[in-house]
Chain A
Amino acid sequence: MSEQHSKPDNSKMITRLLASVVLMFAFGFALVPLYEKFCEVTGFNGRTNNSAAAGSDGNLVDTTRLVTIEFHTRVNRGLPWEFSSEVRRLQVHPGETTTVNFTATNRTGRDMTGQALPSVAPGEAAPYLLKTECFCFQNQPLAAGDTAVMPMQFYVDPDIPNHIRTFTLSYMMYDMTEAAAQGRVVVDTSE
Chain B
Amino acid sequence: MSTVVDTHHEHDDHHDHKPTGIKRWLFTTNHKDIGSLYLLFSFLMFFAGGTMALVIRAELFQPGMQIVDPHFFNQMTTMHGLIMVFGAVMPAFTGLANWMIPMMIGAPDMALPRMNNWSFWILPFAFIIMLSSMLMPGGGPAFGWTFYAPLSTTYSTDSTALFVFAIHIMGISSIMGAINVIVTIMNMRAPGMTYMRMPLFVWTWFITAFLLIAVMPVLAGVVTMVLTDKYFATSFFDAAGGGDPVLFQHLFWFFGHPEVYIMILPSFGIVSAIIPAFARKPLFGYASMVYATAAIAGLSFLVWAHHMFTTGMPVFASLFFMYMTMLIAVPTGVKIFNWVSTMWRGSMTFEPPMLFALAFVILFTIGGFSGIMLAITPVDFQYHDTYFVVAHFHYVLVSGAVFSIMAAAYYWLPKWSGFMPDEGLAKLHFWCSVISVNILFFPMHFVGLAGMPRRIPDYALQFADINAIVSVGAFLFGFSQLIFLAVVVKCMAKKGQAAVAKPWEGAEGLEWDVPSPAPYHTFDTPPKIEAPIR
Contacts and interface: CB of A to CB of B under 8 A. Distances in A.
A32 B317 CA distance: 18
Interface stretch (A16-24, A52-60, A159-167): A16-24
B220 A28 contact: yes
Interface in A174-191: 174-176, 179, 182, 184, 186-187
Interface stretch (A7-15, A97-105, A127-135): A7-15
A76 B150 CA distance: 13
Interface in B177-200: 178-179, 182-183, 186-188, 190
Nearest to B187: A6
B170 to A, nearest CB: 14
Contacts of B236: 32
Contact of B108 (A2, A122, A124, A186): A2
Contacts of A18: 179
A10 B112 contact: yes
B222 A28 contact: yes
B44 interface: no
B314 A29 contact: no
A25 B220 contact: yes
A67 interface: no
A184 B233 contact: yes
B521 to A, nearest CB: 13
Q: Among A14, A17, A36, A45, which residue has the most Cβ atoms of chain B within 10 A?
A: A17
A28 B175 contact: no
A117 B247 CA distance: 16
A176 to B, nearest CB: 7
Contacts of B250: 31, 35
A172 interface: yes
Interface stretch (B18-26, B237-245, B402-410, B507-515): B237-245
Contacts of B313: 44
B337 to A, nearest CB: 33
A58 B175 CA distance: 60
Contact of A28 (B218, B235, B240): B218
A77 to B, nearest CB: 9
A5 B189 CA distance: 10
B524 interface: yes
A117 B244 contact: no
Interface in A109-164: 115, 117, 121-124
A85 B528 CA distance: 80
A10 B241 contact: no
B312 interface: yes
B111 interface: yes
Given A1-B526, A13-B182, A117 B235 contact: no
Contact of B112 (A14, A45, A174, A187): A14
A72 B526 CA distance: 73
A174 B238 CA distance: 11
A176 B240 contact: yes
Contacts of B246: 45
A39 interface: yes
A17 B183 contact: yes
A35 B244 contact: yes
B203 interface: no
A187 B182 contact: no
Given A13-B182, A25-B218, A28-B251, A186 B187 contact: no
Interface string B195-233: 000000000000000000111111011100100000001
A184 B242 CA distance: 12
B241 A179 contact: yes
A10 B240 contact: no
Contacts of A29: 221, 225
B491 interface: no
B107 interface: yes
A20 to B, nearest CB: 6
Interface in A27-57: 27-29, 31-32, 35-36, 39, 42, 44-45, 47
Interface string B490-534: 000000000000000000000000000000000011100000000
Contacts of A5: 187
Contacts of A25: 217-218, 220-221
Contacts of B217: 21-25, 27-28
A174 B239 contact: yes
B38 interface: no
A125 to B, nearest CB: 12
Contacts of A32: 225, 236, 247, 251
B214 A24 contact: yes
A25 B352 CA distance: 42
A78 B251 CA distance: 28
B254 interface: yes
Contacts of A14: 112, 179, 183
Contact of B111 (A6, A22, A122): A6
23 contacts: A1-B524, A2-B190, A9-B186, A10-B111, A14-B179, A20-B213, A21-B213, A24-B213, A24-B218, A25-B221, A28-B251, A29-B221, A35-B247, A39-B244, A42-B314, A45-B246, A47-B244, A76-B240, A117-B242, A123-B314, A179-B241, A186-B235, A186-B242
Give 10 closest A-B pairs by Cβ, nearest first. Answer: A28-B221, A174-B240, A25-B217, A24-B217, A6-B187, A28-B218, A17-B179, A9-B187, A21-B217, A2-B526
Given A10-B183, A31-B254, A35-B247, 20 more contacts: A2-B108, A2-B188, A6-B111, A10-B187, A13-B183, A20-B213, A21-B175, A21-B213, A22-B217, A24-B215, A24-B218, A25-B221, A27-B221, A28-B222, A44-B317, A117-B242, A121-B312, A123-B314, A124-B314, A186-B242
Interface of A: 1-2, 5-6, 9-10, 13-14, 17-18, 20-25, 27-29, 31-32, 35-36, 39, 42, 44-45, 47, 76, 115, 117, 121-124, 172, 174-176, 179, 182, 184, 186-187
Interface of B: 107-108, 111-112, 175, 178-179, 182-183, 186-188, 190, 213-218, 220-222, 225, 233, 235-236, 239-242, 244, 246-247, 250-251, 254, 312-314, 317, 524-526
